[in-house]
Amino acid sequence: MKLATWNVNSLKVRLPHLLDWLAAESPDVVCLQETKLTNDNFPVDELKQAGYRAAFSGQKTYNGVAILSRVEPTDMLMAIPAFPDEQKRVLAATVDGTRIICLYIPNGQSVDSDKYQYKLAWLDALQAWLKAELAVYPRLAVLGDFNIAPEDRDVHDPAAWAGHVLCSEPERAHFHDLLGLGLKDAFRLFEQDDKRFSWWDYRQAGFRRNRGLRIDHILLSAPLAAACKGCRIDTAPRAWERPSDHAPVSAEIAA
DNA sequence: ATGGCCTGCAACGCAGGA
């Protein structure tokens, strides 16, 4: 079972990229973030043609998440139960006996912003929810744009980013606490090249200069981590015409 | 040198992203 996550930064613009990538990579499950589409505009038919069912939770202009899968997703949940939110950032579904949680964690903007406080409150609620979910679903995968670079090695210039949003100590502590629940960062289960990132700023030729961050993650419960055969960031689509600023991340789980 | 780029909205510049 191949699981993937991709912040597409507008599914309307990136649908051709997504269809090309699905055809090339044949993932079984794909979590999408920043679809920026209302549900009535979701490209259900195009994805069905490509062989994917879709669950989605969108809104106008901002946010929006989706789960694509080869088999019908069931038991969908559109929010953290104890954290009602107008912003569509959460989608959970069960796919073939595996619980999939797709997240678009708030960016936070800057550490002195109200949005940063919202991010920390959001992460508190996430922590409590995932603890309960793990007790219910042994096979649990959490995929998405976490907007957290967990360690300095996930940052192109740790000195420049020190203390800034996405790298601040409270955010990293939250990420560490998720691992403390028993989740594993799939990417770090394997030997990886240095300076592997999943997001690069559109400005200043960020991608060409590999000035990026690793902020898109796949976390796996113990049974899934034990069966995980690989995890990689596919940087190729970031070099395509009119790319998303994020690259897809995928993990292979043995059947 | 505190911007730069991209998307959506519905502007004719803004908010938001990271």
Three-point CA angle A47, A142, A175, nearest 5°:
140
Query: Residue A104, CB half-sphere, CA atoms under 13 Å: how many?
Result: 27
Find out whether A249 and A189 touch, Cβ atoms under 8 Å.
no
* Residue A255 pLDDT greater than 90, yes or no: no
User: In A 109-128, which Cβ lie closer than 7 Å to strand B?
Assistant: 109-110, 115
Sign of the dihedral through C-alpha A179, A166, A207, A29: positive
* Residue A182 pLDDT greater than 90, yes or no: yes
3-state secondary structure of A155: strand
> What is the per-residue pLDDT across A17-76, written as a single tens digit (0 to 9) for each?
999 999 999 999 999 999 999 999 999 999 999 999 999 999 999 999 999 999 999 999
The pLDDT value recorded for residue A91 is 98
Mean pLDDT of the A208-222 span: 98
The mean predicted confidence, pLDDT, of chain A is 97
> What is the per-residue pLDDT across A74-83, written as a single tens digit (0 to 9) for each?
999 999 999 9
**Which stretches of chain A are assigned E, i.e. beta strand?**
2-7, 29-33, 53-57, 65-69, 74-77, 90-95, 98-104, 140-145, 184-185, 199-200, 212-213, 216-220, 228-233, 249-253
The pLDDT value recorded for residue A1 is 97
* Residue A147 pLDDT greater than 90, yes or no: yes
3-state secondary structure of A142: strand
Q: Is the CB of A154 under 7 A from strand B?
A: no
Quick check: pTM over 0.95? yes
> What is the per-residue pLDDT across A103-145, written as a single tens digit (0 to 9) for each?
999 999 999 999 999 999 999 999 999 999 999 999 999 999 9
Mean pLDDT of the A208-231 span: 98
Residue A172 CA to nucleotide B4 C1', Å?
A: 28
Q: Is the CB of A168 under 7 A from strand B?
A: no
Residue A150 CA to nucleotide B5 C1', Å?
A: 25
